[in-house]
Structure 1
């Protein structure tokens, strides 16, 4: 058998191998796309934060990762950062302050839940920079909502920038069923990558 006959025999083998590799590659791409769709659609998603209501914790224009599956398994915890459907067109990011059954009030810039003072460590930097009056104005739940405690199936939320936030003081309690998920981390811009506590 001469060299020309050998190369002609190899050619069909090469075509067959190429087709096989293309099929494997196509399946791999399809699996990656399906997994990406499932992860994005059901487990995690990303949001761009607009506005200053969560400063200094989250800044205007930052991109964040939101865990969508966590609250399918557990209930929100106090001080979680959550994304929820505020209107048909807008989702908000705020911090859970009150859980079902909680009685809430602020007195002299201190959060009281069920008559127990709670430290809001995430406000420390903001309070230090705030030099005029109370950072969180005094209020109680009944004054704001007409309810003495947070109703079952709802949470009470506030923005970390208490002077510039539309939150439960204005829109009332947030139904748990309207919560999209928990904000876990900021990933953009890269210099600001961090996990939320």
Structure 2
């Protein structure tokens, strides 16, 4: 889902963020050393170097703390607010939850250049994990073509790469076995609306610069409500199936887009 140039740039950007966090920690250590040193005890008249050190020390400490906080937010853990009711009754609108990011890989803010082919999307490919557990609640970036889009979804992983899935009669089957979803109330209906479950509607081919294209209306590309989860992707559903925009409408989620997992949510 990203070319070699994107992979290289994302790795460089992520390492810059990682090193900035480590640098801030080193700055704190040096600050403590200077604070305990002889020059920090007093500033004698005429000693401009010691006076300057005393004056700039608070600013250095503030910068180090800012870098450390940014590093923790991007790479370790972040507190977010749930918006909407797609994960009801597990999560409610306005709930505050913690997102753990260490196990999913280092993420950096997205950056794309207008009118250019290169976009910097933030994750170290060698660092991000490819393995997830069925039933995990994760936060992921909207899998669209616009890298600057700031839409994030929170859903539950139902299918893993290589899984055979089927949604039938309100039940979800993975590898031909119905999965137990104790987090769902009995009134929840899993079957999608007809507009999401019907076979893809195809327009006649449209000729554009001698290139033939077809317009398809199906997030799962004609698989309907059964098929296989492709490699490097997961199948996600919201707990509130009647009011959730999930894989039934936006398709499989590349693991590259997963930003973190909800800490302590079952």
* Structure 1 or 2: more strand by fraction: 1
- What 5-or-longer segments of structure 1 have no aligned partner? 1-12, 185-194
Q: Partner of 1:135 in structure 2? A: 189
What secondary structure, in the 3-state scheme, does the structure 2 residue paired with 1:122 have?
coil
8 Å contact 2:90–2:239 — kept in the other structure?
yes
Tell me how far apart the structure 1 counterparts of residues 243 and 192 of structure 2 sit (CA, whole Å).
Answer: 15
Tell me how far apart the structure 2 counterparts of residues 29 and 183 of structure 1 sit (CA, whole Å).
Answer: 30
Tell me how far apart the structure 1 counterparts of residues 178 and 104 of structure 2 sit (CA, whole Å).
Answer: 27
Q: Partner of 1:38 in structure 2? A: 71
Tell me how far apart the structure 2 counterparts of residues 66 and 81 of structure 1 sit (CA, whole Å).
Answer: 10
TM-score of the aligned structures, taking structure 2 as reference length: 0.54
The 5 A counterparts of 1:49-64 are: 49-64=82-97
Q: Partner of 1:76 in structure 2? A: 132
Tell me how far apart the structure 1 counterparts of residues 198 and 138 of structure 2 sit (CA, whole Å).
Answer: 23
- May I ask how many residue pairs the two structures share in their alignment? 166
The 5 A counterparts of 1:12-51 are: 29-51=62-84
Cα shift readout 1:128-160 (whole Å, capped 9, x = no counterpart): xx2xxx621279x99662342011111111000
What secondary structure, in the 3-state scheme, does the structure 2 residue paired with 1:157 have?
strand
| Pair 1:85-2:136 in alignment | no
Instruction: Select 2:174's aligned residue among 113, 126, 131.
Output: 113
Q: Point out the structure with max Rg over C-alpha.
A: 1
Instruction: Give the drift of 1:14.
Output: 7.0
| Pair 1:101-2:162 in alignment | yes
* Structure 1 or 2: more helix by fraction: 1
Tell me how far apart the structure 2 counterparts of residues 174 and 142 of structure 1 sit (CA, whole Å).
Answer: 21
Q: Partner of 1:150 in structure 2? A: 229
What secondary structure, in the 3-state scheme, does the structure 1 residue paired with 2:245 have?
coil
Cα shift readout 1:42-79 (whole Å, capped 9, x = no counterpart): 11222221111000111111122111221225322211
Tell me how far apart the structure 1 counterparts of residues 94 and 251 of structure 2 sit (CA, whole Å).
Answer: 26
- What 5-or-longer segments of structure 2 have no aligned partner? 1-40, 45-50, 106-127, 200-217
Instruction: Give the drift of 1:174.
Output: 0.8
Q: Partner of 2:252 in structure 1? A: 173
8 Å contact 1:110–1:119 — kept in the other structure?
no
| CA-based RMSD | 2.9
